[in-house]
Amino acid sequence: MVQLSFVFQTLLLSLGPLLAAASPLQSRGMGVTQYKSSRYMSNLPQNTTHLSFDTETGELTAYDITHRVLSKHTYSPNTTSANSRRQSTVGSCAAMVNSDVQKLPGYQALLADANSLLGAHSWTDLAKSVNSPDNRYPQYPASICTDLDTDTVTVTASGPPTCSIQKESTSGVLVGTSGSVTLSSTQGTSYSVTSTVIQTSSLAVGDSFSVKVSFPGDEEQNTFSVTSTYTNSLSTATQSTDNQQSTESVTMVAGAGQTCSLQYTTTSCSVTGTGTIRAAATGWAWFEYNNGKTHWALNMDYFLTLDQRSSYISLRSGITSSTLSSYTGKCQ
Ligand SMILES: *[C@@H]1O[C@H](CO)[C@@H](O)[C@H](O)[C@H]1NC(C)=O
Ligand SMILES: *[C@@H]1O[C@H](CO)[C@@H](O)[C@H](O)[C@H]1NC(C)=O
Measured from CB, residues less than 6 Å from any atom of ligand 2 are 78, 80, 82, 135, 138
Query: For residues 134 and 123, what is the distance between their CA atoms, to the nearest angstrom?
Result: 24
What per-residue confidence (pLDDT) applies to 50? 93
Ligand 2 center to 247 CA (angstroms): 50
Phi and psi at residue 173, to the nearest 5°: -120, 130
Asked if 285 contacts 101 with a C-beta cutoff of 8 angstroms, the reply is: yes
Query: For residues 162 and 320, what is the distance between their CA atoms, to the nearest angstrom?
Result: 9
Give the ligand with the smallest distance to the CA of 66: 1
What per-residue confidence (pLDDT) applies to 224? 54
What per-residue confidence (pLDDT) applies to 218? 47
Closest-CA residue to 204 (of 83, 86, 92, 100): 100
Could you give the count of Cα atoms lying within 13 Å of 116 in the half-sphere of its Cβ?
Answer: 13
What per-residue confidence (pLDDT) applies to 129? 61
Question: What type of residue sits at position 145?
Answer: C
Measured from CB, residues less than 6 Å from any atom of ligand 1 are 45, 47, 64-66, 70
Stretches where the chain sits below pLDDT 70 are: 1-33, 78-91, 119-136, 147-157, 204-206, 209-228, 289-292
Phi and psi at residue 2, to the nearest 5°: -80, 145
Domain boundaries, given as residue ranges, for the chain: 6-146+280-309, 153-277+315-331
Asked if 230 contacts 211 with a C-beta cutoff of 8 angstroms, the reply is: yes
Give the ligand with the smallest distance to the CA of 70: 1
Ligand 1 center to 271 CA (angstroms): 53
What per-residue confidence (pLDDT) applies to 10? 33
What per-residue confidence (pLDDT) applies to 278? 82
